[in-house]
Amino acid sequence: MTSKPEGTSITLSCLTTVMRTSYCLEVILICCTLILSGCGIYTLNPKGKSEIQTIAVEPLENETSEFGLADRLTEIIIDALIADGNLKVVSATQADAVLIATLTAYDRVPETFDQNDQVQTYKVRMDFSITLRNNRDDTNFWKEKTRQEGIYDASTEAEEDGQTRAGARLVEMIINKTTKSW
C-alpha cells in the first residue's frame, strides 16, 4: 500500500480552487474588455454623427386661446436644447436646421378622481405641427404632427406644471427625432 504524503489532499483541493478562481477571473476580465471596448464611440445614428450641428428655433405659432403659452414653450425648447448639448442653438442665418412649430390645439381634462368624485389630477393635452427645415437647401429633415400630455396634481400644482411636463415631452421627441436614428 502506498501512502500519500501528509497534506497532499489539502494541497490538491487548494490548487483546484485557485485554478477555478483564476478561470472565473479570466472570463470576467475578457467579458469586461469586450463590453468596454464596444463603448468607445457609441451613437444611435447609423452615420455615426448627425449632419445637423447647429439649430435655430423659431418662436412657436399659437393657434389656441392660451395666451403666452407658445412663448413659454419656445423658451422650454431652447433651454432644453442648450442643456442637452448635442446641438448648438444659433440664429436662423447660421443654423444647419430651423425648427418651426405651431401649437394647434390645447385642452385640459380631468385625469383621476377621488372617492367623492373630486378631481385629483388633470391632464394637459397639446397638439403640435412641427417641421425641422434644412437651412442649406430649404427641404425638410422631418415634419410631424404630435400630441404631448402633462399630468399635474389638482391640489398641489398649477396648470402650468402640466404644461411644463408636456413641453418636456415635446422637447424629448424633438431631440430624439433630430439627433438619434432609431
Per-residue pLDDT of the chain (182 residues; tens, 9 = 90+): 555 555 555 554 544 555 555 554 454 545 444 444 444 334 444 443 468 999 999 999 999 999 999 999 999 999 999 999 999 999 999 999 999 999 999 999 999 999 999 999 999 999 999 999 999 999 999 999 999 999 999 999 999 999 999 999 999 999 999 887 54
Give the CATH number of the domain where residue 125 resides: 3.30.160.150
Q: Do residues 106 and 64 touch, judged by C-beta distance below 8 A?
A: yes
Q: Do residues 104 and 128 touch, judged by C-beta distance below 8 A?
A: yes
Structural domain boundaries enclosing 30: 10-42
Tell whether 154 is covered by a domain: yes
Q: Do residues 74 and 59 touch, judged by C-beta distance below 8 A?
A: yes
- The residue type of 137 is D
- Domain count across the chain: 2
In order of 105, 123, 141, 163, the CA distances from 158 in angstroms are 19, 11, 36, 9
Residue 99 sits at φ, ψ, to 5 deg, of -90, 125
Assessment of whether the complete model's pTM goes beyond 0.85:
no
Domain identity same for 27 and 64 = no
Tell whether 134 is covered by a domain: yes
User: And the C-alpha cell for 71?
Assistant: 412663448
Q: Do residues 134 and 97 touch, judged by C-beta distance below 8 A?
A: yes
Q: Do residues 108 and 102 touch, judged by C-beta distance below 8 A?
A: no
DSSP-based three-state secondary structure for 76: helix
Tell whether 92 is covered by a domain: yes
Domain identity same for 155 and 80 = yes
Find where cell 468596454 sits: 36
Tell whether 2 is covered by a domain: no
